[in-house]
Amino acid sequence: MQGLSCSELCYLFCCPPLPSRIAAKLAFLPPSASYSVNRHENGDCTLHLGEGSEWQYGDRELGGLEVFTTETRRGNTIACMYVRCTDDPKYTILFSHGNAVDIGQMSSFYVGLGSRIDCNIFSYDYSGYGASTGVPSEKNLYADMDAAWAALQKRYGISPDKIVLYGQSIGTVPTIDFASRFEVGAIILQAPLMSGMRVAFPSTKRTWCFDPFTSCEKIGKVGSLVLVIHGTDDEVIDFSHGLAIYERAPRTVEPLWIEGAGHNDVELYAQYLERLRKFIQKEVGQQRHIAGNSSS
């Protein structure tokens, strides 16, 4: 979602403008796959991490990574990863990662994050990313998220109120879309965007019919508790996007605005983990307790 040249703008706004083409131009940068999934005759899968994954742990942690594939309603096969970080998880995090990475590259981060906040992590690769088939598109993004949720439910039988959705950058798009249709334990939005057009053209004040990723129109339908995290110096998705999403979400906790943080270094700040721990360990449960008392 970087600045566009004149020639790219001409291509982007061909007549008529197509949302799928705009989305592809603005958002999707799938990297070379950092892992492979080997399927055996009995249906089981094994994970092979390549050098591009930059794995930081040992065999014990590697044994906690479970991979498999599942089908989406649009006919693609997506790779999924379940990271067992604790035997007694507070919640399971369904993590939709950012752009230009795959679950192999994110695997070390998942191990570290889950271990520190006492949660297991479930993640997946979008169509056209990692070992997932197909091509990236906005429609595929939503179908991928739905398939990941269904696989998590079917394979592990985790109650929806024990699942926290975590969207990072472009991953906030399917996270908000899903949470606008179904209630979950809570959602975390890191560097969310209002819409594709508002990222490419910051002066955009309205939602056009060809605008992709219109999270600003969907966030108002999210009934679950929301934590928004954003760096004030984000050079990819301006801080104003996070602020607007926070202001439009019906149920929020105190956001985390990290002074001086950019788009890719939020996790390096101490307050990042501190805020996540408070949200997971206290606020989500408190809100569920309050909601339960008010409905009784």
List the catalytic residue out of 97, 230, 241, 263: 263
Type of residue at 289: H
Active-site residue 161, yes or no?
no
Q: pLDDT at residue 288 above 70?
A: no
Q: What is the pLDDT of residues 93-124, one digit of tens each?
A: 999 999 999 999 999 999 999 999 999 999 99
Q: pLDDT at residue 295 above 70?
A: no
List the catalytic residue out of 102, 144, 211, 234: 234
* Rounded Cα distance, 88 and 17, in Å: 49
List the catalytic residue out of 169, 195, 215, 224: 169
The model carries a pTM of: 0.89
Phi, psi for residue 171 in degrees, rounded to 5: -70, -15
CA distances from 24 to 30, 136, 139 (A): 11, 7, 11
Give strand pairing partners of 35. 49
Q: What is the pLDDT of residues 179-213, one digit of tens each?
A: 999 999 999 999 999 998 888 778 777 777 777 89
Report which DSSP code applies to 252: B
Say which range, 11-20, 90-99, 125-134, 281-290, has the weakest mean pLDDT. 11-20
Active-site residue 234, yes or no?
yes
**CATH superfamily to which 29-283 belongs:** Alpha/Beta hydrolase fold, catalytic domain (3.40.50.1820)
Q: Encode 187-197: b = buried (16+ Cβ within 10 Å), e = exposed.
A: bbbbbbbbbbb
Q: Quick one: pLDDT band at residue 4, thresholds 50, 70, 90? A: very low
Give strand pairing partners of 48. 36
Active-site residue 238, yes or no?
no
What residues contact residue 140 under an 8 Å CB cut-off, 6+ apart? Answer: 72, 74, 76, 126, 127, 128, 134
**What are the extents of the domains in the chain?**
29-283
